[in-house]
Structure formats: structure tokens, C-alpha cells
Amino acid sequence: MYETTTQAPLRARVAPNESTKLAQQDAMLTPRFYTTDFEQLNALKVTPENRPMWDAILKEFRDDPNKTHFKRNAEFDANFDDMDPALREQFMDFLVSSVTAEFSGCILYAEVKKRVKNPDVRELFGFMSRDEGRHAGFINHTLNDFNVAVDLSFLTKAKKYTFFQPKFIYYATYLSEKIGYARYITIYRNFEKQPEKRFHPIFKWFENWCLDEFRHGEAFAVLMRSNPELLEGRNKLWIRFFLLAVFCTMYVRDHARRPFFAAMGMEPDKFDREVITLTNLISRQVFPETIDTDNPRVWELMDEMWRNTQRMNEIEKAGGLLSSVRIAALKGANALVFLKLFMITPHRQALPADVRLEPVW
Ligand SMILES: [Fe+2]
Ligand SMILES: [Fe+2]
């Protein structure tokens, strides 16, 4: 859509399994691996007025409150053989896309730590890479229980890397950290209300897990506030673009997983509205303009995008003579929907700059 890609050399000795192939795919809606111009990250500064907040966040990273959290207990030894096959497939799909997203962060952050000299940036990205590696490993352990673990070292070499210039990395990763937080906590709270629906113990780990993602987002927020040119002028348009791209991707993707949400006792419309509204609200700590989620037109257009995508999937499955023309027309229609979303007057009231958000929702 808005990136160029490069193919890393492929040196695997064994053929990848199905879940690794799934993780390797780069479709419009699947998680990607990123690379950037690492030199530019050296210029990032932490300004004196932001330094106390930065130091507090980095202290939390050093204290590592989740050091012992990602340890499995006996609940993981349960027999899941009688899981409904359709649910099993949807659960595996959810875990594969989650492990790909977590691992994507792990390798990007590790690369930043390796290639950048700026001591603040190096230290932060080292900690974040540690956390994402833990998250990816924990999910992959569950996939392994189902004999479908993703081969992460193969993926590192074989998956395409999408180049983003650094400022796009900041906007996209800040949002993916905050939306990751909002998703994990919303799923966790859902199962607190209806524990009988919790079909696997991994969901019990989401509460402390989401605090890691929240902290990652807080660190990006301090970095962007310390480099305010990232939040001014034409960059405001890029920020709006990334907010919408992240929200639309999630909306369309989750709506395609309606049976999975039903099995969890949830409904994608309600879930996505909650998660998007919360993420959008949190992002006002740093973004001067955000999406006006109180405007019903925003949701109507996201629904339209989802319906177009659904039709595309149906046409693709059915095949036929004119299928590619009809799919191209629907892609054009979705580009227009995106443009309409982009043209909606944004919300223009940022939170005060000295606010450090607490994850209290
Ligand atoms: Fe993570
Ligand atoms: Fe994270």
C-alpha cells in the first residue's frame, strides 16, 4: 500500500510448516516485519523537561516487573484434543498473527539496539526487544503444544522486510503498542466477566502482559514529545493516515474472525469500537490530532470497508472470468472509503504534555 519491500536471503534447511508459511505471508492485513534508516535514529533526543518521565519509564524497564510472569503452569498441560476443530483453526490463526506481530517488534527493536549509537535509544530498544521476545516465545510455546509452532529463525531470514522511514516507525509502532495494550486488556476483562468462555489458559496472562505493551507505548510517546517536529505541520496528516490505517486494518481483520469472537463470548463490532476508541483516546497524550470517534460517519465508513472486503473475499473464493476486475473495483471503492475517512474533521485537543497515563481502564 505505502511501502517498498526487500527480500532477505533464504537459507533454511528444512521446509517450513503451515503456520510458518502463514506467518511468512505479506498480505494487506497480515503483520509485517520492518526495517528503517537506523542512522536517523541517532539524532533522537530526550529533552530536559521530558527527562524525569523518561528516567521513570526506563527504571521500570530495568526493574523488569514481568521478569517471572511468562512462566507456564500446570493448566497448560491440559488436554486440548477435544477443542472444536473450527475453533482450533481460528485460535491457531489468532496465535500465528499474534506471534508474528510480537516477533516483528522483537527483531526490529533488537536491530535498532545493534545499529544505533545513541545511548538512550539503545537502552530503550534493548529492553523492548527483550519483552517482545518473551511475548513471542510464550505464544509460540502454546502453538508448539498444538504441534504448529512457527519457526522464528526461519521467519527472520525468509520473511520480507518493509522499509519505513523512522518517523513512520514511531507512529506505527506507538500505535501498535497502544492498540496491543487495548486489545489484551479488553480480552482479559471479557473473560473476567465470563470465565466459562475462557477456552485456553493463555488468556489469563494478558493482564500483566498488556502492561509491557502500555510501557512500550509510553516510551515512544516521550520520544515523540521530545522531538516535536514529528508532531507538527504536514506530519499531522501522516499521523491521521497511520491512525486510520491501523484502525481500519484491525476493524476489517477482526470482522473476518466473527466466529472466533463468538467463541470468546464477544462481538467484533463492540470489541473494535471499544479498542479503537480507547487507543484513539490514549493517543491524545502525544498526537495533536486524532480521529473523531464520536462521529457516527467514522463507523459507517469502517463498516463499508469491511463489507467491500468481505465481497472481495467471496469473489476471490468463487473465481470466474471477471473476478479480478470486480476485485479491482472493490479495492478502488475501499481507497475511496479511506479517503472519505481521512477527510472527516479530526479531533483537535491533545492531552496536557506532562501527563503520564496510567493503565487504569
Ligand atoms: Fe509484545
Ligand atoms: Fe510491545
What mean pLDDT is reported for the chain? 92
Q: What percentage of the chain carries pLDDT values higher than 70?
A: 94
Which pLDDT score, from 0 to 100, does residue 97 have? 93
Which ligand sits nearest to residue 219's alpha carbon? 2
SS3 33: strand
For residue 31 the three cell numbers come to 503483520
Q: What is the DSSP string of 113-149?
A: HHH---HHHHHHHHHHHHHHHHHHHHHHHHHHHTT--
Summarize pLDDT for 113-165 with one digit per residue, the tens: 999 999 999 999 999 999 999 999 999 999 999 999 999 999 999 999 999 99
Task: Tell me the chain's radius of gyration from C-alpha atoms.
Answer: 20
Q: Return the H-helix or E-strand segment holding 4.
A: strand 4-6
CA of 176 to the centre of ligand 2 (A): 8
**Would you say the C-alpha torsion 341, 342, 348, 350 has a positive or negative sign?**
positive
pLDDT in tens, 103-115: 999 999 999 999 9
CA of 178 to the centre of ligand 2 (A): 8
**In b/e form, how buried is each residue of 158-180, taking b as 16+ CB within 10 angstroms?**
bbebbebebbbbbbbbbbbbbbb
- State the number of CA atoms in the 13 A half-sphere of 187 facing the CB: 26
Number of the ligand closest to the Cα of 174 = 2
| Backbone φ and ψ of 34, nearest 5° | -120, 150
76 pLDDT above the threshold of 80: yes
- 14 CA to middle of ligand 2, Å? 30
- Say what percent of the chain tops pLDDT 90: 86
Q: Which of 6, 12, 216, 260 is nearest to 101 (CA)?
A: 216
CA 345 to centroid of ligand 2, rounded, Å: 30
CA of 136 to the centre of ligand 1 (A): 7
10 has a pLDDT exceeding 70? no
Kindly report, residue by residue over 305-348, the tens digit of the pLDDT: 999 999 999 999 998 889 999 999 999 999 999 999 999 999 99
> How far, in Å, CA of 29 to CA of 12, rounded?
26
User: Which region, left, alpha or beta, applies to residue 47 given φ > 0 means left and ψ of -120 to 50 means alpha?
Assistant: beta
Q: Answer whether residue 198 shows pLDDT above 60.
A: yes
Residue 261 has pLDDT above 90, yes or no: yes
Q: Are the CB atoms for 69 and 205 separated by under 8 Å?
A: yes
331, 312 contact by CB (below 8 A) = yes
Q: What is the pLDDT of residues 276-288, one digit of tens each?
A: 999 999 999 999 9
DSSP H/E element including 301: helix 296-318
- Asked whether the whole model's pTM tops 0.85, one would answer yes
102 Cα: distance to centroid of ligand 1 (angstroms): 5
